[in-house]
Structure 1
């Protein structure tokens, strides 16, 4: 599992930063990508990677501000001619996303050669997507903006061959039969398969925010607690807490202070305002803990 930030900028793009798009690479797990948001330079950014548009089968839109959706119609149209024909795509986004796309396609005369399923989301929804659970939480922004929490299922432990040999079962096809059963019988004794399995591997948990003020309620903290990676916006970087709150955004130091009280392995900040030059951002980076990152375009993180 890998995360790639294709666009790391806020509302106005800069020469260094395009607007918001993030890819969750699940090729090793399910041979597909999840796309979160679709800023206007999405297609150009994809061309500079090895990501195949035809394998983006699920798109999640956090909110309907332009820096998060203006690349969506072009991407959906181009996918039709990039091996996406007959490959269904599911789109999840706030109320209004269906009307906007249908109107855009109608006026532009756009048709797709694959099924597009549009699911409008709401606060508290729990989605089941390709074996992953996706929890949806409404954030605090001038328009409805959402947090998506992606949770991978836990993986059953491996069969302990040494333990099986101890009771006299030699390696062979029977091992697969045992692994796929709850109990098994050997020499008239019934055993529980779970006693012959290694420890469970916990599934990964990734929390990706849309634009938002800092949220501090217990329900929210419980939702993102124990995440392997949290991606959060940091439109403001220089202690402008009141200004951030006024405009429905967050300030990086305030978010870090909250997250330091939670069990979060890695934090990645994105949605960086173009008011800060890269020299200033570099200075901020040098003060961060080792598990906190400020993303730039094409920033990639392997979720171990």
Structure 2
């Protein structure tokens, strides 16, 4: 599993940062990519990666501000000619998204050669997506803006082949059948498969925010608890907490203070204002812990599966 930043900037792009779009690479797990937000030019950004548009079957839009959606009609049109023919696509997003896309495609006389299904998201809903669960949480912004929490299912533990041999079952195709069963029988005795497996390996958890103020609610922090990766906006980097709050955005140190009460493995700050140049960001990075990163365009983060 990998997380790729296609755009790390806030509302107005800079020379080094496009506006916000991400790819959650779950090709190894389910042979797909999840696209999260679709900033202007996202189809061009993808050309600089190994991502195949036809393998993007689910798109998650955090909110309907232009810097998060202006690239979506272009991507949809290009996907139709990049191997996407007849491959269904589901788009998750706030109310109004379906209407906007439909009007844009109609006005531009654009035709899609694959079916599109829309899921109109709301607060505190869980979706089943290709074996993953995806939770939504309504954030605190000028319009409805959501966090998506991607939860990978746990993986079965390893089969203890020595224990199987001890009861007389030799290596062969039956091992796979046993591992995927609840119980199995041998020589008239029924066994619980769990007794022959090591502990399951927990699934990974990736929490991706749209634009938001800092939120201190217990249910929000509980939802983030145990994330392998949290992606949060940091439009402000220099302790302008009151200003960030006034404009419905976040300041990096305030976010870190808020998250000091939960456990997580890594946090990635994105949605960086174009007022900061790379020297500013380098100086701020030097003050941060090793589990904290500031995004840049085309950054890739590998999210390993951690065994208990």
| TM-score, scaled relative to structure 1 | 0.98
Matched with 1:171 is 171
Structure 2 distance, partners of 1:48, 1:180, is 39
Q: In the TM superposition, what is the alpha-carbon distance from 1:163 to its structure 2 partner? A: 1.3
Q: In the TM superposition, what is the alpha-carbon distance from 1:168 to its structure 2 partner? A: 2.6
Q: In the TM superposition, what is the alpha-carbon distance from 1:42 to its structure 2 partner? A: 0.7
Matched with 2:79 is 79
Considering only aligned residues, what root-mean-square deviation do their CA atoms show, in Å?
1.0
How do 1:240-259 residues align onto structure 2 when only pairs under 5 Å count? 240-259=240-259
Structure 1 distance, partners of 2:238, 2:68, is 24
Q: How many residues align?
A: 304
Matched with 1:5 is 5
2:74 alignment partner, SS class = helix
Q: In the TM superposition, what is the alpha-carbon distance from 1:43 to its structure 2 partner? A: 1.5
Structure 2 distance, partners of 1:181, 1:61, is 38
- Deviates further, 214-223 or 40-49: 40-49
2:98 alignment partner, SS class = helix
Q: In the TM superposition, what is the alpha-carbon distance from 1:188 to its structure 2 partner? A: 3.7
Asked if the contact 1:19/1:41 (under 8 Å) is kept, the reply is: no
How do 1:112-123 residues align onto structure 2 when only pairs under 5 Å count? 112-123=112-123
Structure 1 distance, partners of 2:179, 2:20, is 44
Q: In the TM superposition, what is the alpha-carbon distance from 1:214 to its structure 2 partner? A: 0.2
Asked if the contact 1:206/1:227 (under 8 Å) is kept, the reply is: yes
Unaligned runs of 5+ in 1: none
Structure 2 distance, partners of 1:189, 1:83, is 51
| TM-score, scaled relative to structure 2 | 0.97
Structure 1 distance, partners of 2:108, 2:187, is 72
1:184 alignment partner, SS class = strand
Matched with 2:19 is 19
Matched with 1:261 is 261
How do 1:1-304 residues align onto structure 2 when only pairs under 5 Å count? 1-304=1-304
Unaligned runs of 5+ in 2: none
Structure 1 distance, partners of 2:16, 2:178, is 55
- Deviates further, 218-227 or 190-199: 190-199
Structure 2 distance, partners of 1:180, 1:88, is 29
1:219 alignment partner, SS class = helix
Structure 1 distance, partners of 2:206, 2:189, is 43
